[in-house]
Amino acid sequence: MTDQTHRLSPAEIQHAIDTKTKPVGALGRIETLAAQIAAFRNNLAPRVDSCVLTIFAADHGIAHEGVSAYPQEVTAQMMLNFLAGGAAANVFAATLNIPVQVVDAGVAGDAIAHPKLISRRIAAGSASSLTGPAMTAAQLAQALAHGADIARTTTADALAFGEMGIANTATASILLHKLSGLSLHHLVGRGTGLTDTALDHKRRILERAAARCPDKMDPDTILAEYGGFEIAMMAGAMQEAAEIGRLVLVDGFIATAAAAAALARAPHIRPAMIFCHRSQEAGHRAALDWLGADPLLDLDMRLGEGTGALLAWPLVRAAAAMLCDMASFESAGISTG
């Protein structure tokens, strides 16, 4: 176990990796990932054996402006599908023995009673950010606190986060625009499959919404004006997970918007974040480039639900295992000269 009073230097970590029984650099980006994990954990042999996926679900008032190809009731229907184990995220998680927990952060309609559902409803969907704030300051504080509480009560070594919410690509686009200063034109994509005409409409709606507020605002004001309950809750969970020493597996476009908000609130948590995949959603590449993030996978996916984070988990676990279990030249008695 590493002495926690001593912070490992990059040189110490690199030496531990370079002296494993392999040519220097032969494991490529797995070595980079291993170095990140060792530095974050301050441990040259960090065990990373368990992961939990938390899916936050909520609805967005801006959906009523026609920015999505699907009706809002799909959010509740998909939440039930997660609870029944029938979604892609459930299938992928089952192959990896990863538990899945589902959180109602603010789904439209009547509250759903289900023994497996974690209810943290803020309201039955956010307000439309086209005409006013998506949520009040009090609602934002509640969402952030609920997210932090969920992270604290999840004991896995790594926490993966997914989401479900009709119109949440619209919300993620405008959040990233306000957080980064990147052009909305480069961030707004087709979401669940908009036609060219519908995509133009989505851009116009988001440009009008963005014009309501100044370009420069603090991250909490941005979240309150333009966020969704599930994105705010995810941001709170990511921030708390990092603060208490858990790795954060960042999924696709919407999760990256939550990560960007968490990083704007607490820039020091960046070492905990592993960006797992590059979404096919138009704005994700631009957002990742702005964050300086090079994700582990690029599989032309754009589903959300935490699916990209799940598929990256074996790489994360393998990188940590390489540090823990792979012999060094010295321990194996192998000559280097």
**How many CB atoms within 10 Å of residue 139?**
20
List the alpha helices (DSSP H) in the chain.
Answer: 10-18, 29-41, 74-84, 88-95, 137-152, 168-180, 184-187, 196-210, 219-226, 229-243, 253-265, 282-291, 307-325, 329-332
Residues 6+ positions from 211 with CB-CB distance below 8 Å: none
Confirm whether 225 is a catalytic residue: no
The pTM for the full model equals 0.95
Note the pLDDT of residue 1.
39
Note the pLDDT of residue 4.
63
What integer is the mean pLDDT of 311-315?
98
Note the pLDDT of residue 3.
53
Res. 269: pLDDT tops 80 = yes
What integer is the mean pLDDT of 152-160?
96
Helix (H, G, I), strand (E, B) or coil at 194: coil
- Triad 287, 288, 294: Cα angle to 5°: 175
Report yes or no: 40 and 271 within 8 Å, Cβ to Cβ: yes
Note the pLDDT of residue 169.
94
Least confident of 2-16, 79-93, 98-112, 256-270: 2-16
What integer is the mean pLDDT of 167-171?
94
Res. 300: pLDDT tops 70 = yes
What integer is the mean pLDDT of 210-231?
97
Note the pLDDT of residue 191.
79
Packing angle, helices 10-18 and 307-325, rounded to 10:
80
First CA to last CA distance, the chain: 30
What integer is the mean pLDDT of 101-106?
98
Res. 319: pLDDT tops 90 = yes
What integer is the mean pLDDT of 210-235?
97
Which tens digit of pLDDT belongs to each residue from 39-66?
999 999 999 999 999 999 999 999 999 8
CATH class of the domain whose range is 51-320: alpha beta
Report yes or no: 262 and 179 within 8 Å, Cβ to Cβ: no
| CA–CA gap between residue 259 and residue 232 (Å, rounded) | 10
What integer is the mean pLDDT of 229-237?
98
Out of 31, 65, 240, 305, pick the active-site residue: 305
Note the pLDDT of residue 314.
98
Res. 170: pLDDT tops 50 = yes
**Mean pLDDT over each residue of the chain, to the nearest integer:** 95
Note the pLDDT of residue 210.
96
Report yes or no: 33 and 276 within 8 Å, Cβ to Cβ: no
Residues 6+ positions from 260 with CB-CB distance below 8 Å: 175, 176, 179, 180, 287, 291
Q: Is 8 left (phi over 0), alpha (psi -120 to 50) or beta?
A: beta
